Amino acid sequence: MPNLQTPIEKIPQITARQKNALAKLKMEKIQDLIFHFPFRYDDFSNFLSIDQLEKDQTATVEGVVQQIKQTKTWKRKMFVSEVFLQDQSGLIRAVWFNQPYLLSAISQGDKLRLSGKVSADANGFFFSSPAWEKASREPTNTAGLVPIYSESEGVTSKWLRWKIQTFLPLVQKVSDPIPAEILEKLNLPNLSMALQWIHFPQNRKKVLIAQKRFAFQQMFFLQLSSFQIRQSRQKERAVPFKSQNEKIQKFLQTLPFEMTGAQKRAWQEISQDLQKNQPMNRLLNGDVGSGKTLVALLAALLTKENKLQTALLAPTEILARQHFESAAKLLKKTEIKIALLTGAYQKSFSSQADFQQEKRAELLEKIRQGEIDLVIGTHALIQKDVFFKNLALIIVDEQHRFGVNQRAHLQKEIEKINDGIKNKIPHLLSMTATAIPRTLAMAFFGSLDVSLLNEMPKNRLPIKTQIFNENQRPRAYEFIKDQIRQGRQAFIIFPLVEESESLSELKAAVSEHQKLDQKIFPNLSLGLLHGQMKPIEKEKTMQEFKDRKFDILVATSVVEVGIDIPNASVILIEDADRFGLAQLHQFRGRVGRGEHQSFCLLFSSKGTANARLKVLEKTNDGFEIAQKDLKLRGAGQFFGTQQSGIGDLAMENISNVRLIEICQKYAQQIISADPLLKKYPALQKEVEKLQKNTHLE
């Protein structure tokens, strides 16, 4: 007897082709089939008699098959199947193409239901390829709101409907994970009813109620998991810092600029966290150029003043070197000792000794003895041969967008780090350069404190952005040449947004580079960067660009990962309409990092996309742009559903602040009273499943 955990391959009468198709849809068990929700509905609820039909009308009719015939066209070798259906009011013809099996499935005298759009030709009204089923069957494919699912070759919506209808009764034996009292307070249906309404609804209202229930369910599980993680971390202990406010203020007075209000607020929040004996777990969420590095380095300086160590982890060697150089420059007038430790580089810096090349073994010994205050490197820092004397703070620069899987791995590795302090874990500060709208921060970072840097430094020149069409291309190229004559450098980006394109990426990148190098900019030096290059090759190319060995860097979207090229003043983005606004803003942030006015040139072949792109012409505010992107494209596109571990319905409702607040309220109530969810075994099971498949900060 099957149950929800029965593997799909054990379903009777399932072919190898269907098994492969279901695997592509990530369906392994009957439960996955039941929770594969429709993305839209065909409305066949307009039930009419045949004499009431009109052209272009969508309707359902029911009658008896008077005749069925099949012909084959000579030109296209195509089977044409025709059925003539009669009710008390008249006769209607239905036509299907290339479905020869209909002859064996439908017989004269059968009572059928047909649903579809009415067409007309010289012979009168007819249905073209309508949905059909025997009138004796419970309506599944006709006569109502008919669900349409994401399909794969070999598995149609019709097949899915039949299978889901077969196995849906199994849900009645399963405990509803959401407590009955919460469902009652929110007027939401139980699990069995909600599944019936979402797959086979009687009307639109029931669809909306079912969707509301599952959006709440998905967000509720996420918030429960977040609060559970937060509560478990409250039991952990970290080293509490002393404020050292006078020394920090003295350092700030040496800076040639004043911190923004947002930087001051963020620093105050971080400083207060570090003075607690519970480990800090904070996200520093700032737009490109908002000054995250300075705030993070203040935390490292406070750690040093408490005679403790900091590790700063960057995703690539070139970004680690960039942080090392920035830290050495900003902290030059302090006594902090800084080291760079990556697979290829070992350096140290202090105001007394300046830059020094080090042997790895010697540098590792200095770190172990506590002679280095701030160690900067890639995630290779978290290796078995790296021992700290008293590591109390870890700063993680997550230049990649959010990287759920990477963070999950990193969090586990951090727990095992050789920090040298018994029974304590380091404080953790994460940084992201992607401006995250408030609702996303609320939804996805419930277990994490968030500091916003939503203000730009006063001395920063806003990047000037302009949309170009194909006719204006010569003017854009001339502008780039003019910038290079003034001693500047440029990026030219062309899109690669689909995984399927990766196979042709190398060819496309090389072809584009060759055309620009030989025909457009023959007198300039052009570099090339694409996703098929090895990491060490990418880093070498970016370093050479930074060292001005190239005037122009031609690149695919791989360049979105941040690198500081202060001399680059112009970025040209091809087919800008293919990118989201938030991603375009990230590209744009590759320029505008120096003292010179910078420019972003957006090429768009689609006039209709220009209204969307004009947002970038009007503002440089990453939070405003991200909010607009979220509204236009949805959270699944902005965040990446595959990374988030959250269902589609919750994603669609991510801008619903009220929904998130309600979920947080009930999640907090339950976790406060029952942290391990012992009274709610079905709920505990769902939260454990979520935590296994997803990493929440």
- From the list 598, 615, 618, 610, the residue with the least C-alpha distance to 479 is 598
Dihedral sign for Cα atoms in the order 325, 327, 329, 334: negative
> Could you tell me if 381 and 363 are in contact, meaning their C-beta atoms sit under 8 angstroms apart?
no
> Could you tell me if 361 and 327 are in contact, meaning their C-beta atoms sit under 8 angstroms apart?
no
Is 475 inside any structural domain? Answer: yes
3-state DSSP call for residue 156? coil
Is 629 inside any structural domain? Answer: no
Tell me which DSSP letter residue 50 carries.
G
Instruction: Give the model's pLDDT for residue 498.
Output: 43
Is 175 inside any structural domain? Answer: no
Residue 475 sits in the same domain as residue 574: yes
Instruction: Give the model's pLDDT for residue 499.
Output: 40
Point out which residues pair with 42 in neighbouring strands: 146
Instruction: Give the model's pLDDT for residue 497.
Output: 43
Supply angle C-alpha 524, 528, 530, rounded to 5.
160
Residues 6+ apart with CB under 8 A from 179: 670, 680, 683
Is 496 inside any structural domain? Answer: yes
Residue 31 sits in the same domain as residue 52: no
The length of the chain in residues reads: 697
> Looking up tokens 């490197």, which residue turns up?
377
Instruction: Name the strand (E) or helix (H) holding 456.
Output: none
Tell me which DSSP letter residue 128 carries.
E
Residue 319 sits in the same domain as residue 423: yes
Residue 23 sits in the same domain as residue 116: no
Tell me which DSSP letter residue 460 carries.
P
Instruction: Give the model's pLDDT for residue 548.
Output: 94
Residue 538 sits in the same domain as residue 415: no
Residue 482 sits in the same domain as residue 571: yes
Residues 6+ apart with CB under 8 A from 174: 4, 191, 192, 682
Domain boundary among 559, 589, 619: 619
Is 180 inside any structural domain? Answer: no
Is 667 inside any structural domain? Answer: no
Domain boundary among 170, 187, 220: 170
CA distances from 354 to 232, 305, 336 (A): 43, 20, 11
Residue 111 sits in the same domain as residue 153: no
Neighbours of 51 (CB within 10 A): 11
Tally of structural domains, the chain: 4
Identify each DSSP E strand in 541-680 by its residue range: 552-555, 568-573, 599-603
Is 679 inside any structural domain? Answer: no
pTM of the full structure: 0.76
Instruction: Give the model's pLDDT for residue 435.
Output: 77
- From the list 33, 223, 23, 209, the residue with the least C-alpha distance to 646 is 223
Residue 33 sits in the same domain as residue 50: no
CA distance 467 to 475: 12
3-state DSSP call for residue 83? strand
CATH number (domain holding residue 324) = 3.40.50.300
Domain boundary among 432, 455, 483: 432
Residue 477 sits in the same domain as residue 332: no
Residue 416 sits in the same domain as residue 548: no
CATH number (domain holding residue 112) = 2.40.50.140
Instruction: Give the model's pLDDT for residue 457.
Output: 80
In order, the DSSP letters of 100-124 are: TTHHHH--TT-EEEEEEEEEEETTE
Residue 154 sits in the same domain as residue 92: no
First CA to last CA distance, the chain: 41
Domain that holds residue 79: 46-142
| Residue ranges of the chain whose pLDDT lies below 70 | 74-76, 344-345, 347-355, 383-384, 399-416, 438-439, 442-447, 496-508, 558-562, 607-609, 633-648, 650-651, 654-655, 693-697
Is 96 inside any structural domain? Answer: yes
Residue 383 sits in the same domain as residue 320: yes
Instruction: Give the model's pLDDT for residue 446.
Output: 67
Per the structure block, which two tokens stand in for 257?
Answer: 């600029």
Phi and psi (nearest 5°) for 438?
-55, -45
Neighbours of 242 (CB within 10 A): 11
Instruction: Give the model's pLDDT for residue 506.
Output: 60
